[in-house]
Structure formats: C-alpha cells, structure tokens
C-alpha cells in the first residue's frame, strides 16, 4: 500500500563538517614501505594521499587516513568490506593498520572520477557512447557487489573512478556506508522496515531512502539512474537548491517524488525512461534484472551504430605529468577484453550482454600479507549474526512493502 506524501516522515543526519587535511603526514613513511608525497583528495571524514613505494621503482599507491574517532572505526570497516568484495573494478587493499590515533588504508592508485571526465567532453555523440559503455560496467560492478550480499548505499559520480593507467576500466570506491542486505550463510533477506535514519547523498539517493525506508538492491539501481542522467545532461531537476540542509532535503524529496519519469528523462533516448520505470517498480526483496538494464544501454549503442569497444573519449585526455606513472602494470581487464574480437562485432540486443560478466575470482590476485584474515572473518560473521537476529526479532507485518 502507498503512503500519502503528508504522512511521510523524513529522518536524516545533520550535515557533516568537512574533514581538515592531515598535512603532518606529508613526506612520512608509512609501514616502512610507502612515502606520502601529496594530498589527492579530502572527503568529509578522511584524507587521501599519493604515496610512492620505496621497494618498487616507479610504483605508486593511494593511502587513506582517518581519525579513529570518526564514526567509530569507519575506515576499518571499509577495509574489511573492500577486501571481502575483491574483484574486477574493486580497488585492491594492499595494507591496513593504525598509526597513533589514525586508521590507515593502503590501496590501488586510481585515475580521475567519471564526473570530471564527462564534464570535459562537450561532444554529445561521443559523450553518449562513453555513458553507455560506463553504464554497462557500473551495472556490472553493482551486480557483483549485490551477489556478495552487500548494498553500496552511496552511489554518486565521485565514487566511480577510472583505472590508472588503464582508463577503460571503471572502479567503484568508498565502501564505508555499505551494509549486508542478505545473510551469506542462510540467504535470508533483511525485513522491510521504516523510520530509518538517512545515510548517503540525497541528490542521488532513491525516493524510498528519503522516506526513511530500509535500503535494498533496488535503491542502488535507482541511484545509478539519477547519476547517469546527471552525467549526460550535466544536471538534475533538484540541483541548485539552496538553504539549510533540512530545507534542501525536503525540497529535493518533493521534486523526486512528484516528477514523472518522462520529464526526468526529457531529451534523452527512451531507454533512460525505461530504466527509471523499471528500477522504481522493483519490490523491496526483488532481484533486479541486471541483464535487462545493461541491454538498454547496448540498445542505445546499437541505434547509434556504435560498438562497446572500450574506446572512451577521455583515453587521449589522460596524460600523467610524470612519465613514471606510465610504468604501472597493465590491468587484467585490458589484457583480456581490450583487443577481443567481440568488440568488433555488432551487438544483438535480443541476447543477454555477457561481454563483461567475467570470472573475477580466477583473474585477480587477492594476496594480502599484512591483513589479519582471522579478524576479517570474525567481522563478517558478526554481520551475518546481526542480520539473522534482526530477522528473528521482527514480526510478520514488517515484511509488507509499501510499494
């Protein structure tokens, strides 16, 4: 059954104060192996640095540092989940540990975020091709994460980066807000519930999320839709709203809840509208049809008489300032799919697009010498037990979806 808009109660966190960069870590040697050279990015809770490997010439890594008091070891949990989700398009965890009152995560160095790359392209045809090829990979990343019983919960352009130097491979990052939606031991889905506190980015989150409803796979898929529309058009109907956080939240929710899919996707290929209609129709526990959603973007490429060849327009734009950055080992993805003959053929949109549904487990090196596997397994077991206990405690009425 559906709720009226007036009866919707919105629960949200107050806006988080921006994290101050920890400049004291510049030039510091981490774990005796990595020397920090400069700051790459500053997020709301942590600082990301570029660091060179002291034992391997011309190799660089990214180091994320966060105060231990920030959201109760949030970076530690992110490291656990990132290791658990290891696979194609997931940054590799190289090392994790503590330095004084800070958690330190060493991981794969990636390239630019996709929003910066799309903003630099003003040619609509090549931009649409880029978007379709990116969308197919993004859906594949989310399908893989969902197959590991996890929902991401913070889909936004800043959380999708290209590889370095292989910019044809798109990575998904920032797993600090991820949660398990299903027990990996029993396969039981979390139950439907309301009055949940909001987490994530409200510009891209689903309508259900803003209504305080428990997140599931459908919410990740809806967020992807908003993100893709923004990447190709450069905006969304609720962008530019000013005022205090609570007021902006309420205004964005009203626009999202009332705008039609046709108006939201105005001027775009019909496949965008089909995407949004489908993901908004999903039930709380329903399995998304990832193949159908990927097929929509293959269809756009087919109509454009183009191919899924991984020749993104930004490949020529990305030129590292230092030649040393070019010495990274070529990624497995590029080796296997970069010159494959399937990308020189037209796509039959009636068939399931299986071009990038590779066996991730056999292709990726998962070695993690400094990671305490016993602690990690204990953490994952705890998450499973928490889900099972929650299922037992809830009554039968909690399984009713308001959709």
DSSP structure class, residue 176 = T
Question: Is 401 tagged catalytic?
Answer: no
Closest residue by Cα to residue 17 from 89, 70, 88: 70
The pair of structure tokens assigned to 125 is 């045809």
Peptide bond before 79: cis, by omega within 30 degrees of 0? no
Q: What count of residues does the chain have?
A: 403
Closest residue by Cα to residue 89 from 35, 143, 25: 143
Closest residue by Cα to residue 200 from 189, 192, 208: 208
Active-site residue among 115, 130, 140, 154?
A: 154
Cα distances from 49 to residues 35, 156, 176, 185, 322, in angstroms, run 10, 21, 18, 37, 17
Closest residue by Cα to residue 360 from 329, 336, 328, 392: 336
d(CA 10, CA 280): 19
**What separation, in Å, do the N-terminal and C-terminal C-alpha atoms of the chain show?**
6
Contact call for residues 151 and 215 (beta carbons, < 8 A): yes
| Contacts (Cβ under 8 Å, ≥6 apart) of 401 | 192, 283, 284, 285
* Catalytic center residues: 154
């Amino acid at each position: 059954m559906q709720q009226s808009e007036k009866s919707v109660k919105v629960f949200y966190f107050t806006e988080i104060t921006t994290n101050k960069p920890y400049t004291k870590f510049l030039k510091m040697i981490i774990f005796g192996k990595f020397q920090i050279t400069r700051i790459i990015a500053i997020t709301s809770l942590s600082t990301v640095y570029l660091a060179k490997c002291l034992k391997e010439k011309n190799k660089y890594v990214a180091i994320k540092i966060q105060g231990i008091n920030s959201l109760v070891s949030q970076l530690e949990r992110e490291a656990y989940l990132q290791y658990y989700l290891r696979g194609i398009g997931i940054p590799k965890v190289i090392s994790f540990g503590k330095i004084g009152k800070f958690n330190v995560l060493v991981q794969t160095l990636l390239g630019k975020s996709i929003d910066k790359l799309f903003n630099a392209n003003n040619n609509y045809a090549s931009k649409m091709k880029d978007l379709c090829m990116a969308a197919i990979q993004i859906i594949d990343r989310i399908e893989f994460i969902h197959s590991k019983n996890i929902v991401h919960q913070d889909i936004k352009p800043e959380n999708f980066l290209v590889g370095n130097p292989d910019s044809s491979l798109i990575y998904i990052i920032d797993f600090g807000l991820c949660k398990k939606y299903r027990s990996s031991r029993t396969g039981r889905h979390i139950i439907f519930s309301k009055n949940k506190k909001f987490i994530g980015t409200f510009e891209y989150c689903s309508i259900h999320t803003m209504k305080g409803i428990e997140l599931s796979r459908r919410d990740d898929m809806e967020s992807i839709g908003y993100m893709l529309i923004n990447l190709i058009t450069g905006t969304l109907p609720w962008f530019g709203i000013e005022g205090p956080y609570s007021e902006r939240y309420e205004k964005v929710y009203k626009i999202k809840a009332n705008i039609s899919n046709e108006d939201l996707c105005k001027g775009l290929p019909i496949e965008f509208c089909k995407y949004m209609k489908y993901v908004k129709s999903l039930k709380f526990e329903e399995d998304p049809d990832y193949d159908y959603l990927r097929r929509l973007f293959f269809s756009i490429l087919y109509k454009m008489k183009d191919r899924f060849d991984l020749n993104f327009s930004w490949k020529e734009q990305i030129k590292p300032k230092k030649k040393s950055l070019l010495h990274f080992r070529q990624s497995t993805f590029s080796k296997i799919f970069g010159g494959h003959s399937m990308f020189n053929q037209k796509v039959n949109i009636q068939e399931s697009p299986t071009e990038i549904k590779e066996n991730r487990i056999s292709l990726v090196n998962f070695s993690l010498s400094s990671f305490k596997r016993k602690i990690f397994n204990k953490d994952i077991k705890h998450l499973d037990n928490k889900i099972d206990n929650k299922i037992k405690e809830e009554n039968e009425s909690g399984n009713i979806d308001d959709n």
